[in-house]
Chain A
């Protein structure tokens, strides 16, 4: 399941295409293995779930943060995310934002990187503010 990450953020079309490519490659390698085992281990559902989850997790990945913004604000982004996640509303927003991008924004605005960049920078700013607040309170 190697290439979904190419070009960074995946799309639903990319995932579907990749499921079929992976299945084809894997099933043809299973020479002499029982049909039931092949179907049990190599099926669309499992491949789809793993690839979708991988795609979703990219939006919280330190490397993606580093490349979309800059490496040095990655700790601040995590700090911001961690602080925001303590509020249930913001936690929901943080968890749903990747789905909003994958399923909707990507189709409307193909070049969505600037929006994502602003989103990450805002979180980093919040992280910076909370960090400063902690330091001042000490």
Chain B
């Protein structure tokens, strides 16, 4: 657990002023965002532990949230998404408490979260206007597509990482097993929250730029956490079988390779791309 928190701290704060390249006056904003991200990781650990009374699941979920591409990208820039995610987790954490006053604080925080989001995406204003239903549904499925989930997330176009999906493509088995597990255990609240996020993201006025979809990160971490636990238990039960042991080890190596590849991309290629885009923006506009 301590290792995960240290990793979360390091990945959020290392070279924060330099990567991604930006103006020096945004540094404080970045620190705030990184701190929100770090606190989200710590709190999601305790939230899952409290909800399911399972340390392994909590550990998997928080470690996945630490390493998710969208989480790293959003936590290292000045981002309202990081703050909103923290508000959701704190609100939910308080809401499930037995004490009434904590429940009320939790609900108030979730209302603040909704107001905060609405300030950013003007959801209510758009809901009251005429909406093209076909376009809305198409946007919804586009955001839920495997392409955006696992391979190319272009919802955050300028300054974001477009070469990676919201989660690593190496985590596809964990994702599907996780969805199956959540449905099997009737934990629909996370899936419903995910669908709500997808719904209002598909209303984004700047679509296909729809950064609201990054609010999915805690849900994705929970889905992947469930998937990881199931697969981990599967391999643990069959650890005497040499074939499954090798298979498990190979899969861990593949995951490690994927994460390493992302960090290489983030710290080497991404900065270079953002710098080039900045130059292009300055010259063009």
Which residues of chain B have C-beta atoms less than 8 A from A74's C-beta?
141
10 A-B pairs within 8 Å (CB atoms) are namely A1-B152, A1-B163, A2-B162, A5-B151, A30-B269, A54-B147, A58-B147, A62-B141, A66-B137, A71-B134
Nearest opposing residue in chain B for A53, CB measure: B169
Q: Are B137 and A33 in contact (CB under 8 A)?
A: no
B264 within 8 A of A: yes
Residue of A nearest to B169 (CB): A50
Chain B contacts of A2 at CB under 8 A?
152, 154, 162-163
Interface string of B241-267 (1 = CB under 8 A from A): 000000000000000010011001000
**Dominant secondary structure of chain B at its interface with chain A:** helix
Q: In the complex, how many residue pairs between chain A and chain B have their CB atoms under 8 Å apart?
A: 66
Contact with A67, one of B138, B151, B268 (Cβ below 8 angstroms): B138
Counting contact residues on chain B (CB < 8 A from A), the size range is 20 to 34
Interface centre among B134, B138, B141, B261 (most CB of A within 10 A): B141
Q: How far is the CA of A60 from the CA of B142 in the complex (A)?
A: 13
Q: A33 near B268 (CB under 8 angstroms)?
A: yes
**When A1-B151, A50-B169, A71-B138 are in contact, do A30 and B268 touch as well, CB less than 8 Å?**
yes
Tell yes or no: B46 within 8 A of A by CB: no
B117-146 CB contact bits vs A (8 Å, 1 = yes)? 000000000000000001001101110111
Closest 9 CB pairs of A and B: A63-B145, A71-B137, A66-B141, A63-B141, A61-B146, A62-B141, A57-B146, A54-B151, A63-B142
How far is the CB of B77 from the nearest CB of chain A, in Å? 21
Residue from A37, A63, A65 within 8 A of B147 (CB atoms)? A63
